[in-house]
Amino acid sequence: MTDFCRKYGLSIPVVLAPMGGGPSTPELVAAVSNAGGLGSLAAAYSNAERIEQDIAAVRKLTSRPFAVNLFSPQAQLPLNDDVKAVSEFLRPYHERLGLKAPELPQKPIEDFDEQLDAVAKAALPIVSFTFGLLPSKATERLKAQGTYLVGTATTVDEARQLEKAGVDAVIAQGSEAGAHRGTFAVPAEEALIGTVALVPQVVDAVHVPVIASGGIMDGRGLVAALALGASAVQMGTAFLACKEAGTSAAYREALMRGREDATTLTRAFSGRMARGLSNEFVEKWNAARMEHLPYPWQNAFTQPMRRAATAAKQVGLLSLWTGQGAGMLRETTVAQLMKDLQEEMKQAWLKLKGQME
Amino acid sequence: MTDFCRKYGLSIPVVLAPMGGGPSTPELVAAVSNAGGLGSLAAAYSNAERIEQDIAAVRKLTSRPFAVNLFSPQAQLPLNDDVKAVSEFLRPYHERLGLKAPELPQKPIEDFDEQLDAVAKAALPIVSFTFGLLPSKATERLKAQGTYLVGTATTVDEARQLEKAGVDAVIAQGSEAGAHRGTFAVPAEEALIGTVALVPQVVDAVHVPVIASGGIMDGRGLVAALALGASAVQMGTAFLACKEAGTSAAYREALMRGREDATTLTRAFSGRMARGLSNEFVEKWNAARMEHLPYPWQNAFTQPMRRAATAAKQVGLLSLWTGQGAGMLRETTVAQLMKDLQEEMKQAWLKLKGQME
């Protein structure tokens, strides 16, 4: 076991990726922690009240440690003429779904300071974050109460910046990863480094533990990540089809058709680059050569459509985040998946042992 | 040791990537084989006479097995009006280098059948290839003489196609890999799967041995690849700065400044997507939104510029192929590198053993 795993009593080096917008229910978070991994609650899209409720719900289901994940607050980029074009683009989809005309909300995202208050009040052992550095006041506050801080890097330089800012561990997010890229120091296009190349270079560059993320779906990948020098592996896609996940029925159905070469990177849904299965919305968006609004505006603007499409099972209009391990996805329960991962690790290890000794 | 390694008497699961256009000299190929790996001679840009000479040169330097690599013959796509635009684009660079005006050659690539004759005559134990399937006659001819055939896949489907076509092993080329993408069944943009996701999915899909490639630079990566189910690892970038490599002085200098996030994918040099360090030529090409000629025409058209730029150490006009492991590159000899890789494998293995047992 690695030091990181020992510290949190993990019997398997698995950290649940915080999957906002549905999948990471308190049930999923607790189930991963109960099965010997580290659950992560996705709090970035929640207001303070919701965060408190979710933390309480997880605590009802497990007495083991879990993390809460926030987005580093983003500079609010100014809106421009693209609003009208995006609104026009969304209109037919709103009509199809029986929604009123698209309207840009006043407040595209929850208030970070209120989220931080809720998280600090809960005195969680671990807080992870993505999309940048935390404001230094937030770092100080959380560290003062003994919270273990985990930042997300997609390049070596980002990992160094995070270490300098005081994080206790770094997630190295490889290009295979599903959903949002955590890139903050360069354009996201320049930070698509594969896990097998990124992890050892980050391990060599920082002194804190490195958690590998991106494309890892089974015990072979877990052993490989440890060999690369990682202290644990953050897995998201692998849990998407678990019974305990809040993944919608339409999303699940699409996922089961996923393949390694079926994902694409797009900013169409949120304004930030993210990896998911391509579908009607992404294809039409690309074909129209649309310019997205800056995050979080684009995210807020497309949210009513995505919500309604989820309810109506219109899979062509959903964000179908998934990583390049898509073809290895399993429909199962968390307990079974974790048991299988353990067994696969053992098998991969025994095979390796036969080759190495 | 894996079955593949045992078959060829490899003491370390390393296959040299065939690096055409300079780096893979007979000295480099022989040195890798002599150090317990499998050298690969890049024959795709050579005519029959040159292939015979190179094979003879390798055989003078080693009695151990090595592979020869060919490009699967490509459908000759028709040229169009882009020729004039590309010619205009190249003209100032030709002027800068003191070359006559750009001129499209009559014959953009060596004849495959003549190359195949030379390779078949040499009765090599292993022939690897990329850019597609071999013509079935070529497969039959080589297999009839007992040659072990290794094809290159960038997706699961390509691996399946290669197995069906009779290859004995598949190289799974992850998105991290430097130089040309081997993609042949989909647009190259859709086949940028990271090694950690691609390898296990290919291993699960085919029955033949899988050789991992892309982003692996040290012993940690070698152990990781074996854990993922690979039988060996093809490494190119790792050997670029070896004394025995034919890497030009200007190219070497640029490589030592390489970082994991400094590479880009471009078709500017050859018409096929390839990964390398960005430079003046790539940036200007992109800025001008140029349309490339189909491979191999673009490759042939830019060759005089690249050759002259190499001689003149004009690093801005060279193709600087390198993978995303760039930051882990070492200036050393093949013997030392292979010794270091062995030792690193052992260390990675011992660390893993401490974590797993």
| DSSP codes joined into one string, A219-277 | HHHHHHHHHHT-SEEEESGGGTTBTTS---HHHHHHHTT--TTSEEEE-TTTSS-EEEE
Q: What is the pLDDT of residue B34?
A: 98
Q: What is the pLDDT of residue A82?
A: 86
Do the chains contact at A352 and B220, CB–CB below 8 Å?
Answer: no
Do the chains contact at B227 and A229, CB–CB below 8 Å?
Answer: no
**Residue B337: C-alpha distances to residues A79, A101, B223, B235, B349 (Å):** 53, 63, 16, 12, 18
CATH of the domain at B289: 3.20.20.70
Do the chains contact at B201 and A327, CB–CB below 8 Å?
Answer: yes
Band of pLDDT at residue A357, cut at 50, 70 and 90: confident
Return the ∠ at Cα A92 (arms to A86 and A97), rounded to 5°: 115
Do the chains contact at A194 and B176, CB–CB below 8 Å?
Answer: yes
Phi-psi region of A285 (alpha: psi -120 to 50; beta: other; left: phi over 0): alpha
Who among A155, A226, A327 is closest to B261 (CB)? A155
Residue B348 with chain A: CB contacts under 8 Å: 227, 229
b (16+ CB within 10 A) / e for B84-122: eebbebbeebbeebebeebeeeeebbbebeebbebbbeb
Who among B2, B215, B348 is closest to A194 (CB)? B215
Q: What is the H or E stretch that residue A66 is in?
A: strand A66-71
- How many structural domains compose chain A? 1
Q: Using the Cα atoms of residue B211, residue B216, residue B217 and residue B221 in order, give the sign of their dihedral.
A: negative
Host domain of residue B257? 3-356
Q: Using the Cα atoms of residue B27, residue B28, residue B29 and residue B30 in order, give the sign of their dihedral.
A: positive
CA distance A357 to chain B (A): 8
At residue B216, the 3 state secondary structure works out as coil
Phi, psi of A78 (to 5 degrees): -70, 145
Helices assigned H by DSSP within chain A: 3-7, 26-34, 48-61, 82-96, 112-122, 136-144, 156-164, 195-205, 219-228, 249-255, 280-287, 297-311, 334-356
Residue A7 with chain B: CB contacts under 8 Å: none
Q: What is the pLDDT of residue B81?
A: 77
Do the chains contact at B223 and A198, CB–CB below 8 Å?
Answer: no
Residue whose entry in the numeric block shows the structure tokens 């006479």: B49
First to last CA, chain A: 20
Distance CA(A223)–CA(B225), nearest Å, equals: 10
Residue A207 burial by CB count (10 A; 0-12/13-18/19+): exposed, middle or buried? exposed
Do the chains contact at B157 and A261, CB–CB below 8 Å?
Answer: yes
Does A115 score more than 90 pLDDT? yes
Residue A287 burial by CB count (10 A; 0-12/13-18/19+): exposed, middle or buried? exposed
Question: What is the pLDDT of chain A when averaged over all its residues?
Answer: 96
Who among A261, A348, A352 is closest to B186 (CB)? A261
Mutate to test the interface with B, among A173, A261, A349, A350 (most CBs of B within 10 A): A261
Query: Nearest residue on chain A to B355, judged by CA atoms?
Result: A1
CA distance B155 to chain A (A): 7
Work out the number of other CB atoms within 10 angstroms of the CB of residue B123: 11
Who among A174, A190, A214 is closest to B261 (CB)? A190
Band of pLDDT at residue A152, cut at 50, 70 and 90: very high
Q: What is the pLDDT of residue A208?
A: 98
Distance CA(B226)–CA(B12), nearest Å, equals: 11
Return the ∠ at Cα B263 (arms to B260 and B265), rounded to 5°: 140
Band of pLDDT at residue A12, cut at 50, 70 and 90: very high
Who among A197, A223, A356 is closest to B324 (CB)? A197
CA distance B202 to chain A (A): 10
Who among A190, A191, A227 is closest to B223 (CB)? A227
Q: What is the pLDDT of residue A110?
A: 94
CA distance B356 to chain A (A): 6
Residue B182 with chain A: CB contacts under 8 Å: none
Closest CA to B317 of B90, B141, B153: B90
Report pLDDT digits (tens) over A249-279.
999 999 998 999 999 999 999 999 999 999 9
Distance CA(A198)–CA(A205), nearest Å, equals: 11
Query: Nearest residue on chain A to B278, judged by CA atoms?
Result: A190
Do the chains contact at A224 and B220, CB–CB below 8 Å?
Answer: no
Q: Token pair for residue B63?
A: 């009695």
Q: Using the Cα atoms of residue B271, residue B277, residue B282 and residue B286 in order, give the sign of their dihedral.
A: positive
Give the strands of the sheet with B232-235, arranged side by side.
B14-16, B232-235, B210-213, B169-173, B148-153, B126-130, B66-71, B39-42
Do the chains contact at A214 and B195, CB–CB below 8 Å?
Answer: no
Do the chains contact at B196 and A195, CB–CB below 8 Å?
Answer: yes
Non-local (6+) Cβ contacts of A331 within 8 A are: A241, A242, A252, A256
Work out the number of other CB atoms within 10 angstroms of the CB of residue A67: 26
What's chain A's length in residues?
357
Band of pLDDT at residue A77, cut at 50, 70 and 90: confident
Do the chains contact at A217 and B197, CB–CB below 8 Å?
Answer: yes
pLDDT mean over A112-127: 97
Q: Token pair for residue A139?
A: 């770092």
Query: Nearest residue on chain B to A185, judged by CA atoms?
Result: B261
Task: Please report, as a single letter, which amino acid is at residue B56.
Answer: A
Distance CA(A12)–CA(A333), nearest Å, equals: 16
Closest CA to B271 of B22, B79, B17: B79
Do the chains contact at A197 and B191, CB–CB below 8 Å?
Answer: no
For chain B, which residues score pLDDT lower than 50?
none
Who among B193, B200, B324 is closest to A221 (CB)? B200
Residue A2 with chain B: CB contacts under 8 Å: 355
Q: What is the H or E stretch that residue A130 is in?
A: strand A126-130
Do the chains contact at A175 and B175, CB–CB below 8 Å?
Answer: yes
Whole-model pTM: value is: 0.97
Q: Token pair for residue A256?
A: 């089961």
Contact assessment for residue B178 and residue B151, using Cβ atoms and an 8 Å cutoff? no
First to last CA, chain B: 20
The DSSP output letter for A39 is E
Residue A277 with chain B: CB contacts under 8 Å: none
Work out the number of other CB atoms within 10 angstroms of the CB of residue B2: 18
Query: Nearest residue on chain B to A217, judged by CA atoms?
Result: B197
The DSSP output letter for B242 is B
Mutate to test the interface with A, among B156, B196, B217, B234 (most CBs of A within 10 A): B196
Do the chains contact at B214 and A197, CB–CB below 8 Å?
Answer: yes
CA distance B44 to chain A (A): 27
